[in-house]
Structure 1
Amino acid sequence: MFCDNLVSLRKLNDLSQEELADRLQVSRQTLSKYETGESLPDIERCKQLAEIFGVSLDDLVNYDTAATGLNVPPKGRHAFGLVTVGDKGQIVIPAKARKIFNIQPGDKLIVLGDESQGLALLSERDFLAMVQQMRKD
């Protein structure tokens, strides 16, 4: 996954191998080996790559574009994959999303919608905190 993500991110950012290699302070041949999977960069170079592309280190290394059909998301944004809507409109929120956003069984979520932008889910506690903050301002 790493080598595929590296190639994809380099191309998305309109960088040649030479340009990215210069930014990493490695040779173009070394970068080529990273992209083909012939070798892997050390952790410091991986961190540097994640910073250059504005993605998380975890997504740079582990994000499976084949599973989602989407490119590596920007840092702080997530694409958790597809969910299926059941007969009564129920969905299962992916485990990684529940972990990142601390969604626990029994939590209440508010469903918001904008016909031009889609749906959004907010935890009740975050929504109420936001409303209280707006009342203060």
Structure 2
Amino acid sequence: MVFKDRLLELRIAHNLTQQELADKLNVVKQTVGSWERGRTEPSLESLNGLATVLHTTTDYLTGQSDFTEPDERSIEATTRLIFPDKNPIFTEIVQNLTLLNNSDLLHINALVKSYVEQK
């Protein structure tokens, strides 16, 4: 049960009570308690919210990675693949995007599409 342990560890490390974390995620305190006991699992939206509030990645929370933050080597490799001209602004953009939740990314994608269509 990696998720429940990592959630509890990060909540405590951020000096948050279950109630404070619940308030930030717009859920009830009992929901956070249920996640921490391993009785239920969060929705994808809540998982993304947890990662944002706890300054970590969903991969770390779910046990897919042992890195609490996005791996810089992965960011650089991804940037080189997508943007081979090595413009430093692309690296900065990719680093910033890794900090956003899915809802934010969808909003940014819509803005970029709209901008490109106007050009």
Q: TM-score range by the shorter chain?
A: 0.5 to 0.7
5+ residue gaps, structure 2, are 78-85, 87-119
The aligned runs of 1:1-137 (5 Å cut-off) are 1-62=2-63, 73-77=67-71, 100=74
Instruction: Note the residue ranges of structure 1 that are not aligned, 5 or more in a row.
Output: 65-71, 79-96, 103-128, 130-137
* Two-structure CA RMSD over aligned residues (Å): 2.3
Runs of 4+ in structure 1 deviating by more than 6 angstroms, as ranges, are none
The structure whose RCO (Cα within 8 Å, separation 6+) is larger is 2
Q: 2: CA distance between counterparts of 1:5 and 1:25?
A: 20
Aligned pair count?
76
Percent identity over paired residues: 30
Q: Which structure has the bigger radius of gyration?
A: 1
| Distance (Å, rounded) in 2 between the aligned partners of 1:57 and 1:20 | 16
What TM-score do you get using the length of structure 2 for normalisation? Answer: 0.56
Higher strand share: 1
More helix by share: 2
TM-score for both structures, normalised by structure 1 = 0.49
